[in-house]
Amino acid sequence: FVQALQMPGTITDKAKEEVELSEKQKKKLSIKETQRSLPIYPFKGGLLEAIEQFQVLIIEGETGSGKTTQIPQYLYKAGFCKDGMKVGCTQPRRVAAMSVAARVAEEMGFKLGNEVGYSIRFEDCTSERTVIKYMTDGMLLREFLTEPDLKTYSVLIIDEAHERTLHTDVLFGLVKDIARFRPDLKLLISSATLDAEKFSQFFDDAPVFRIPGRRFPVDIYYTKAPEADYIDAAVVSVLQIHCTQPEGDVLVFLTGQEEIETASEMLMERTRKLGSKIKELIIAPIYANLPSDLQSKIFDPTPPGARKVVLATNIAETSLTIDGIKYVIDPGFCKQNSYNARTGMESLVVTPVSKASANQRAGRAGRVSAGKCFRLYTAWAYKNELEDNTVPEIQRTNLGNVVLLLKSLGINDLIHFDFMDPPPHETLVLALEQLYALGALNHKGELTKLGRRMAEFPVDPMLSKMILASERYKCSKEILTITAMLSVNNAVFYRPKDKVVHADTARQNFFLPGGDHITLMNVYNQWEETAHSTQWCFENFIQYRSMKRARDVRDQLEGLMERVEIEVTSNPLDTVSIRKAITAGFFYHTAKLDKGGNYRTVKHNQTVMVHPNSSMFEDRPKWIIYHELVFTTKEFMRQVIEIENGWLLEVAPHYYKAKELEDGSGRKMPKNTGKTRADVTRTY
Ligand code: ADP
Ligand code: MG
């Protein structure tokens, strides 16, 4: 009887298994089909032969032809991963590294993190077994520190080379060098259809392997007059396409998370108002800080009858290919680093894209069939206002980080380093000066012990100096928390449009005297006390995901403290010590309130404003230090703390002269700036 009862169950289980198996087989089959349909597929044999024959190969192919996902698999099957040797593939963007690794693991039937993995800053998803490793270009740079000849790699693919990020550009010089003394290493430089000749020249006339693309015609439309509000214009365009155009998905290029969230809310609101009058519109955002479980939404096939609109940063320009896009909306902007080598001021600026970028964006509409691209600017602007090419990042950014890294690799002569496009001389000099002021280099430009310790941390030199200074001020626990919170910086506080007042009140409740860094620490500490509660985050308008990420970052940084032999000590109430440690790293970013009530940077007398979200917006103390500048309508300082001018002489005596730091009150600067006055006792 019992047996009889169990029987049907067993049969059902078995039947289910069979169904599942065939589902799996189907999936496998469709993956195979997709792989075979990619433009790169017919060239597999020829490509492998060329790799066999040449040590360095430039690979050029239209975005979406299969370079990033397929080449490492071809190499794997061709035996490049024998004896635990790895194929490494760099990506300029973290989202791309994660997403592509996930895709390739799936295609190969492996669990992500086993044979196929990825490594991005503060997140290592690899194991002993990993033989295909996707990583950000910055992570490969750091690998030179632990493995200078990269001897566990059989092939290195520097992918998306055309993006010319700072790290990719530095890698060019380094990998070219190791290829010379490692003849067994294969080097592939892969890029979209741009700049192949230039790469070839740089790599001693390496041959170029071209993968002919399939591209369908794309009609380009311009606006008649410039758009005052491009987000609104983009939203209107999406709805127009949705209501009037045949099926096909839409891709909108915006500059960052904030814009994407705004556009997404606007679209949701307006489609809700239109109700059942229109077909379903699926909104899928993609940007660098989007949690990984939400990233894959952009790849979900659109159900029949519906339409998908992908709201993306320029990550979708070449790094990620989304099938099914037929319409592209291009407002013509992206967010870029901008650096003034004279003042050392660095900020993120929304900048018009280049013609090359605009054309890449338009190309996204013509991958599967003929498409349309709507440029939200005039034809005249395209012709006369856009630059031909984007300036490589190395020529418009602070070099402190890479200079410290190169020095740590023993590369002392940076003026003669083999750069594809050298950075401006004054930027290089300023980076050296800054590292000298931070104590990372001595007066001969050689790495100091402090500099060596700073290089252990995968963060900017100012942050690593701040971390190391926390040893002296006995507040490393707090400084680690602050560093971690700064790394998720602008995504801590949640501010939904319909609850702005509540959200702002909740945020203000976290304010503590001393400034924004202290406030961020306060948020983290309170969250810790709730044992990392999601509910608490929800009630206090805090983004849980950001907190979780901050905790991960914090754990990793804490792990590194052992390597620099710093004991983690805590002193949460002594915010003077905490702020002094911050000052020790960020003394460059000092601003002073002038008589007219404006803040000016101390060294260069530039006008800067406190960001309205800052806890210091109303306090307006005389001396402040900011974490970063963002340029919107003005130069805004984001994350600000109050300091005393005397601290600057204490932490950076070689950088500031007492005369520069007079506060105008007629008081002389104290001679002995060590422990004076209330510095030690004044705590909050
Ligand atoms: P390339 O590097 O030449 O631009 P890719 O290898 O990135 O091309 O893309 C090849 C194909 O793989 C594209 O059709 C793309 O849509 C698909 N693809 C890549 N990542 C994913 C993913 N995470 N999910 C589904 N499809 C993907
Ligand atoms: Mg690619």
Per-residue pLDDT of 196-207, as tens digits, reads 999 999 999 999
Q: Is the pLDDT score of 666 beyond 60?
A: no
pLDDT the model gives residue 445: 92
Locate the DSSP E strands across 434-491.
none
pLDDT the model gives residue 361: 96
Choose one of 103, 157, 159, 194 to mutate for the ligand 1 pocket test, by most ligand atoms within 8 angstroms of C-beta: 103
> How many whole angstroms from 657 Cα to the centroid of ligand 1?
56
The strand pairing partners of 211, in sequence order, are: 61
Q: Is the pLDDT score of 165 beyond 50?
A: yes
Nearest alpha carbon to residue 162 among 39, 314, 340: 314
Q: Is the pLDDT score of 112 beyond 50?
A: yes
> How many whole angstroms from 62 Cα to the centroid of ligand 2?
9
Q: Which atom of ligand 1 is nearest to the CA of 69?
A: 6
pLDDT grade for 3, boundaries at 50, 70 and 90: very low
- The pLDDT of 319-345, averaged and rounded, is 88
H-assigned helices in 488-622:
500-508, 516-529, 534-539, 544-563, 575-586
| Mean of per-residue pLDDT scores for the chain | 90
d(CA 560, CA 141): 18
Nearest alpha carbon to residue 297 among 279, 320, 276, 318: 320
- The pLDDT of 427-438, averaged and rounded, is 93
User: 570 or 343, which is more confident?
Assistant: 570
3-state SS track over 270-337: HHHHHHHHCCCEEEEEECCCCCHHHHHHHHCCCCCCCEEEEEECCHHHHCCCCCCEEEEEECCEEEEE
pLDDT the model gives residue 9: 36
pLDDT the model gives residue 22: 65
Least confident of 170-179, 490-499, 569-578: 490-499
ipTM above 0.90, yes or no: yes
pLDDT the model gives residue 277: 84
- The pLDDT of 604-618, averaged and rounded, is 92
The helix (run of H) or strand (run of E) holding residue 371 is: strand 371-375
pLDDT the model gives residue 635: 87
Q: Is 158 left (phi over 0), alpha (psi -120 to 50) or beta?
A: beta
| Ligand lying closest to the C-alpha of residue 103 | 1
At residue 160's C-alpha, the angle toward residues 159 and 166, to 5°, is 100
The strand pairing partners of 630, in sequence order, are: 348, 636
Pairing of strands 307-312, 132-136: unpaired
CA atoms within 13 A on the CB side of 5: 2
Q: Is the pLDDT score of 403 beyond 90?
A: yes
pLDDT the model gives residue 342: 74
Would the CB of 364 count as within 6 Å of ligand 1?
Answer: no
- The pLDDT of 405-431, averaged and rounded, is 93
Q: Is the pLDDT score of 675 beyond 60?
A: no
d(CA 214, CA 330): 22
> How many whole angstroms from 377 Cα to the centroid of ligand 1?
30
- The pLDDT of 388-394, averaged and rounded, is 93
For residue 595, the Cα-to-chain-centroid distance in whole angstroms is: 39
First to last CA, the chain: 76
Q: Provide the 3-class DSSP secondary structure of residue 607.
A: strand
Residue nearest (by alpha carbon) to ligand 1 atom 10: 66
Q: Provide the 3-class DSSP secondary structure of residue 187.
A: strand
What are the CB-based long-range contacts (under 8 Å, 24+) for 143-146? 144/174, 144/405, 144/409, 145/405, 145/408, 145/409, 145/455
CA atoms within 13 A on the CB side of 471: 15
Convert the pLDDT of each residue in 523-567 to its tens digit. Answer: 999 999 999 999 999 999 999 989 998 999 999 999 999 989 999
The strand pairing partners of 251, in sequence order, are: 310, 328
pLDDT the model gives residue 681: 27
Q: Is the pLDDT score of 667 beyond 60?
A: no
Would the CB of 18 count as within 6 Å of ligand 1?
Answer: no
Convert the pLDDT of each residue in 66-94 to its tens digit. Answer: 999 999 999 999 999 999 999 999 999 99
Q: What percent of the chain has pLDDT over 90?
A: 77
